[in-house]
Structure 1
Amino acid sequence: MGRLSVGYGRGLLGAVLLLQAAWVWAHAPGLSSLDVAVKPARIDVRMTFALQDIEAFAPMDSDLDAEVSDAEREAAKPDIAKLLAGQLRIAVDGEDVAPTGLGQVGFDAENNAHVEFQYAAVPKRRLLVQSTFLQRLAEGHRQYLTVRDADGKVLAEKMLVKQDDGLSLSFAAAADGEPVASAHSTFNTFRDFFKLGVEHIVTGYDHLLFLLALLVVTHGFWQALKIITFFTLAHSLTLALAGLNIVDLLGSFVEPFIAATIIYVGVENIIRGDHPKGRHWLTFGFGLIHGFGFAGALREMEISSGDTGIFLPLLSFNLGIESGQIAVAIVILPMIWWLNNKADIAEKFLKSCSIAVSLMGTYWLLERTVL
């Protein structure tokens, strides 16, 4: 009995630690975008950040009332433009160049800032783009850089991070005298977003907590496989809908709804107990909403790749998420099955995990709505 209690304690501790990681990383590490267009007479740059990523460096709440009014947002635009202009290095043929005039700042409905700069220079031999602002942001922040020509053709793409925050691009003269860069690598784009998807899951994303709440009632391989399969199918369908621009849901709806799904599954586990009937259909329906959460993060940052637009980043990001989910499931499922097959502790284990899941879901729901 003592050994059994130790095993139960270890299992419960592992579940609690996993849930605690999900609490800390309820949202994925920050993601932003940097688009550079090399035109015949100038370089156009467009940066997109979540406001929460830049507000610490360009405060908007001037009256300190814990709310940012439209007037305060407008008043903050020059500071935001100045901040980002000073944190972006553009070097043309070995010479650093400054933007012509102040940057243009705009906001969207999803609390993102879009900042545009123009540079009166055109590279003939080499272009260097360095986003030093990444040094100020959290360790997990990623910024996707895309360099295009005047016709919108992608010349280079790279996922920038704090340790590697720049891209140097060599040009060669074309027959008409215009600069031409070497072709970009589709594989690198796929790899970057696949890795990003895996990182989002294994660091404890709220979607992972939802999956854990679904799997905690299973006793064996086939029950778990059905749930994981239906979750994967839902994500794939969402990917197709988002990639083809058929359905697009606002993040202000999706994020609270995701929190609500976590609460629902946790409460259902407490009320209905061991492996409720129809759990795979519930997984599929709620999985669709979680998939829109994945797609929304990339859409809001206006991320696209080459001729595939947003489809390749979405596909590789989603595959990374699914791969990460499977890897985590392989690790935690044996523990869940062992505990669920011990009659004297199974019910306590299920209820303890489900209560923790529901409480965390409630916190996220409040955070994404009224807080």
Structure 2
Amino acid sequence: MTDLPNPCNTQLSRLWASLAATLLLLAVARPAAAHPEGFSQGLVIVGASNVTVELTVHTRDLNDWFPPRSFPDYVKGVCEGFEKQAADLYEVQLNHAPAKLASAKAFQPEPGMIQVNLVYPYDGALEEVKLEFLKFRALPRGHQQYIIVTDDRGAAFGADPYRLLVDTIDADRPMSVKDIPPSRWPATRPATTPATTAAATMPADPGPPPEMENRVNFFLDGIGHILFGYDHLLFIAALLLACRNFREAATIVTFFTLAHSVTLTLSAMKLVNISGDIIEPAIAATILIVAVENLIHRPKLAWRCAITLFFGLIHGLGFAKDLREKLASDSFAEIVWPLVQFSAGVETGHLSLVAIALPLLLWAKRREPRFDRIAVPAMSIVISVFGGFWLVTRIWETMHPAG
């Protein structure tokens, strides 16, 4: 006589599998931050007699550095903390000599952001700026800082600043060095009278500004955005779990690629601009919806393609958020090549992970008939928990920003 499967045992197996998978993911991931890499900006302004470094960082990346529970007034406490630590934020060298910090001021330029202005005076002609950020260990793992060096030595003549360098530093490469070209402006501006203006005393032909140096590797940034974008990874995993064969998986991946490529392009060109306060919770919602749908029923391919297309548009806006912050210009000609590189990086990372995970998933489904009945629901439960958690925390952070 053949033993019939016990429904209670099957449900218990699913429960234990879900619990084990949840504990495993909690052990290797940080669920509070779907993008653990974080991002800050170091704007270096070369003036006629001093160099100003403006550090701007999001409060969400300061939880370990300045624990929120330690400050009754978080923004005030963080600003005071930054000013006390001002001399230890950067090691700055001007013309190969250590620069002395003259002043530091921290403030909140907008909700959720903290800015610290550091001023370093110098004498004579400036030939080189070396900047090393010393606090990467206090920030989330993988944090990057976007360095922009601008020349504002023509301010006394009413001239606009122009960029000399865009660069990215991180814990593995915390230093950026830039040779400063000779100033296009006289050392001092002639005295003006009520009948003259700064513009009237400008040199007749200061010459064109030097070409900006761009050291940002947009291709690697695109790969990193996928590899460390846990929310995007879980969304793709939820989609693949319901696929029966390679044809279905390839179709789903194609729809997702087309969709996020469209909104990534439109957003990078600023033809579409939607606040991250809307996009980030929406991305979490896409994860939750797809994972729950896996638990309710096995969706038909046409329906899953449609929902993937729509949700892929939302994820593309998430990809574009980081890219927009790193673009050195709003000019269409200067956006196209970085956009192509970043998109290629995103797709390389995305397709590489699918190429590794999909054969393993399909092999497990063929080898173990119970995989669809036990493992797929268990993993979908885990993914839905993460999606739901991110959805709640992101809505909460949007409604209650620090400061």
TM-score by length of 2: 0.74
Partners in 2 of 1:204 and 1:303 — Cα distance?
17
Cross-structure match for 1:128: 130
Cross-structure match for 2:302: 277
Contact 1:243–1:311 at 8 Å: present in 2 too? no
Where 1:164 maps in the other structure, the secondary structure is coil
Where 1:339 maps in the other structure, the secondary structure is helix
Contact 1:22–1:204 at 8 Å: present in 2 too? no
Contact 2:164–2:210 at 8 Å: present in 1 too? yes
1:332-355 Cα distance to aligned partner (Å, 9 max, x none): 111222334465533333322222
Q: Does 2:214 correspond to 1:206?
A: no
Q: Does 2:394 correspond to 1:368?
A: yes
1:213-265 Cα distance to aligned partner (Å, 9 max, x none): 11112233332222212212222222222222233222222222211111100
- Could you tell me which of 141, 144, 163 is aligned with 2:143? 141
- Per the TM alignment, residue 276 of structure 1 is displaced from its structure 2 partner at its CA by 4.5
- Per the TM alignment, residue 16 of structure 1 is displaced from its structure 2 partner at its CA by 4.5
Where 1:357 maps in the other structure, the secondary structure is helix
Cross-structure match for 2:281: 256
Cross-structure match for 2:380: 354
Question: Which structure has the bigger radius of gyration?
Answer: 2
Distance 1:361 1:292, change over 3 A: same
Contact 1:172–1:181 at 8 Å: present in 2 too? no
Contact 2:82–2:106 at 8 Å: present in 1 too? no
Q: Which runs of 5+ in 2 are unaligned?
A: 1-13, 153-159, 188-205, 398-403
The 5-angstrom pairing of residues 1-371 of structure 1 reads 16=21, 21=28, 24=31, 26-58=34-66, 61=69, 71-74=73-76, 76-109=78-111, 111-121=112-122, 124-150=126-152, 151-173=160-182, 183=211, 185-186=213-214, 188-189=215-216, 191=217, 193-203=218-228, 205-273=230-298, 275-297=300-322, 299=324, 302-305=325-328, 316-341=341-366, 343-370=369-396
Paired residues in the alignment total 348
Distance 1:275 1:352, change over 3 A: farther
Contact 2:292–2:384 at 8 Å: present in 1 too? yes
Where 2:171 maps in the other structure, the secondary structure is coil
Amino acid at match of 2:54: R
Contact 1:36–1:147 at 8 Å: present in 2 too? yes
Distance 1:127 1:204, change over 3 A: closer
Where 1:147 maps in the other structure, the secondary structure is strand
Partners in 1 of 2:138 and 2:52 — Cα distance?
24
Partners in 1 of 2:352 and 2:129 — Cα distance?
40
1:258-312 Cα distance to aligned partner (Å, 9 max, x none): 111111001111212154532122112111222222233455xx43325757776
Report the more deviating stretch, 273-282 or 157-166. Answer: 273-282
Partners in 2 of 1:352 and 1:161 — Cα distance?
37
Report the more deviating stretch, 90-99 or 213-222. Answer: 90-99
- Per the TM alignment, residue 175 of structure 1 is displaced from its structure 2 partner at its CA by 7.1
Contact 1:129–1:166 at 8 Å: present in 2 too? yes
Distance 1:16 1:322, change over 3 A: farther
Report the more deviating stretch, 351-360 or 258-267. Answer: 351-360
Where 2:103 maps in the other structure, the secondary structure is coil
Amino acid at match of 1:129: L
Contact 2:223–2:345 at 8 Å: present in 1 too? yes
Report the more deviating stretch, 206-215 or 337-346. Answer: 337-346
Contact 1:242–1:295 at 8 Å: present in 2 too? yes
Partners in 1 of 2:213 and 2:51 — Cα distance?
22
- Per the TM alignment, residue 22 of structure 1 is displaced from its structure 2 partner at its CA by 5.4
Partners in 1 of 2:337 and 2:139 — Cα distance?
26
Distance 1:27 1:163, change over 3 A: closer
Amino acid at match of 1:52: R
Amino acid at match of 2:100: A
Q: Which runs of 5+ in 1 are unaligned?
A: 1-8, 65-70
1:28-66 Cα distance to aligned partner (Å, 9 max, x none): 3122111112233432322121213335434554566xx
- Per the TM alignment, residue 357 of structure 1 is displaced from its structure 2 partner at its CA by 1.4
Amino acid at match of 1:305: A
1:129-167 Cα distance to aligned partner (Å, 9 max, x none): 111122433441211212122344332232212232112
Contact 1:304–1:311 at 8 Å: present in 2 too? no
Report the more deviating stretch, 174-183 or 218-227. Answer: 174-183
C-alpha RMSD over aligned residues: 3.4
